[in-house]
Structure formats: C-alpha cells, structure tokens
Amino acid sequence: MANQSRFGTKGEQKVAQSLRYRGASVERSPGSKGASDLKAKFPSGTKWNVQVKTTRSGNAASPGSKDLGRLKQSATKEGATPVVAKVSPKGIEFESARSGKTLTPPKK
C-alpha cells in the first residue's frame, strides 16, 4: 500500500509541476487528508482546489461522491474552482468537479 501512496504522491508532484509551469503558486495539502490535494493560485487571481487521481494504465478513476462533495464545499468556501486532475501515462487532464467539463489552466 505504501507503494500505491508513493505513486499517488508522484502524480501530485507531476500536477503541481505542470501548474507551476503555467505560473501558478501551488501548495500541497499535508498528508492529503483534506478535501483537496493541491491548491493553486494563478497570476490572474484564479484559484483551483485540486483533487489528484493517478493511474498506471488507462483512465484515472473519478473521486467518490463523498470526496467530490468535500472538494466542492471547500472550494466554494475559499472562492476557488473545484478541479479533478486525472494523471495517466497519456498525460494530465483537468476537469471541473462541478460540471465534468475539461478545463485548461489559465495562461501565464
């Protein structure tokens, strides 16, 4: 199980790096026990609370409804967009936790 946890952490680091590349300041939640794994703030003022899901093959699973609810609730409180980042061998896909639509991080 520790191996699975380390794998998830690598996915989080990959997403954080991708968001930083786009100019965001990114904070990791300690121990990933919170509603979101990462909090990103872009120079435009846009804020994302991100739940990261990682898979070794195929498509990453979506968070469960309880986790999605917590993510949406915490993002609303903080004036942020709740985002699910799905990490697979194909890359990273960002989607809105509210609508399920694909999101593109704001440009630098």
Query: Over the stretch 52-97, which tens digit does the pLDDT of each residue have?
Result: 999 888 888 888 999 999 999 999 999 999 999 999 998 999 999 9
User: Is residue 108 a part of any domain in this protein?
Assistant: no
Q: Strand 81-88 vs strand 47-54: parallel, antiparallel, or unpaired?
A: parallel
Q: For the chain, how many structural domains are there in total?
A: 1
Q: In the numeric block, which tokens belong to residue 87?
A: 């990490």
CATH number at residue 74: 3.40.1350.10
Q: CA 49 to CA 86: how far, in whole Å?
A: 14
Beta strand extents in 1-108 (DSSP E only):
25-28, 38-41, 47-54, 81-88, 91-96, 102-103
1, 29, 33: which is closest to 15 by C-alpha? 29
User: Is residue 57 a part of any domain in this protein?
Assistant: yes
Is 0.85 topped by the overall pTM?
yes
